[in-house]
Amino acid sequence: MRRKGRIVVLVVVIFMLLTLSLGAFAFQNEPDGFRGLKWGDPPTEDMALWDVVVGLDLYILPREKLSLGEAELVLITYCFYEDRLMEVNLHFFELDNYALLKEIC
């Protein structure tokens, strides 16, 4: 019985160590949003509905600067689920722009 108790304690300790160490593998510089919008925010008044895809509302900002760093963008879409920002898509052409964006991110 005493041996079984030690095994249980050992398993619990190992589980706790593994669980606590998972934070070390998280994305270190994860952004909390994009260009002033935070994840979970509703669409702003100056956004225009661009498309609806499978329950997701895609918005654009009509007068938005279409660049990020030195990369030239074609379109930026803001994806909302139940009126909460969940994703931003950067649309671009050419591998040069991909390389520039990869350096930033």
Which tens digits make up the pLDDT trace of 22-57?
555 556 667 788 999 999 999 999 999 999 998 899
Rounded Cα distance between 19 and 35, Å, is 33
What pLDDT is stored for residue 105 in this prediction?
A: 75
- What the block records as the tokens of 76 is 């930026």
Examine the pLDDT at 101 and tell me if it is beyond 80.
yes
- For the entire predicted model, the pTM comes to 0.70
Torsion angle of C-alpha atoms 29, 86, 42, 60, degrees rounded to 10: 100
Give the mean model confidence (pLDDT) for residues 7-18: 64
Mean pLDDT of the chain: 84
